[in-house]
């Protein structure tokens, strides 16, 4: 019984640690990349109205500030949910100019 309790509590600790790491990561960058290509690139591709934009166009702090302010014309976000936007933010942030893996293409 005692041993079983130990095992159970060990799993509980592992689960807690795993969720807190995920929470710190926030969005899902893989999904974000897909959404970015599908939604943002229509206006932010090489010949888009919004000017070309890639993850490398900004620093991590600049991306965070941009999404925090949420000043973008709301219509342009299309029907992206809060969660979708978080994923896009995560993708851009992970590949920002000052990130370990800057990316020029979305």
Binding site residues, ligand HEC, CB under 6 A: 39-40, 42-44, 49-50, 53, 66, 72-73, 76-77, 80, 88
Q: Please, what is the minimum distance in Å from the beta carbon of residue 103 to ligand HEC?
A: 14
**Look-up of token digits 């041993």:** 3
Query: 29-63 b/e with 16+ CB inside 10 Å = b?
Result: bebbbbbbeebbbeebbeeeeeeebbbbebebeeb
Q: Which is nearer to ligand HEC, 76 or 97 (CB)?
A: 76
Q: Please, what is the minimum distance in Å from the beta carbon of residue 102 to ligand HEC?
A: 16
Would you state the structure tokens that stand for residue 1, as one six-digit string? Answer: 């019984």
Q: Which is nearer to ligand HEC, 4 or 77 (CB)?
A: 77
Would you state the structure tokens that stand for residue 61, as one six-digit string? Answer: 């702090």
Chain length of the chain: 106
Q: Are the C-beta atoms of residues 22 and 28 closer than 8 Å to each other?
A: no
Q: Which is nearer to ligand HEC, 6 or 38 (CB)?
A: 38
Q: Please, what is the minimum distance in Å from the beta carbon of residue 41 to ligand HEC?
A: 8
Q: Which is nearer to ligand HEC, 22 or 51 (CB)?
A: 51
* Rounded Cα distance, 48 and 94, in Å: 23
Q: Please, what is the minimum distance in Å from the beta carbon of residue 80 to ligand HEC?
A: 6
């Amino acid at each position: 019984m005692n041993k079983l309790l130990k095992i159970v509590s060990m799993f509980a600790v592992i689960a807690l640690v795993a969720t807190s790491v995920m929470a710190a990561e926030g969005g899902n960058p893989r999904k974000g990349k897909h959404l970015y290509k599908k939604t943002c690139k229509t206006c932010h591709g090489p010949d888009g109205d919004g000017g070309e934009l890639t993850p490398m166009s900004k620093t991590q702090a600049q991306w965070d500030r941009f999404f925090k302010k949420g000043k973008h014309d709301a219509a342009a976000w299309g029907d992206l949910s809060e969660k979708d936007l978080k994923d896009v933010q995560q993708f851009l942030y992970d590949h920002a100019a000052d990130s370990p893996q800057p990316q020029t293409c979305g």
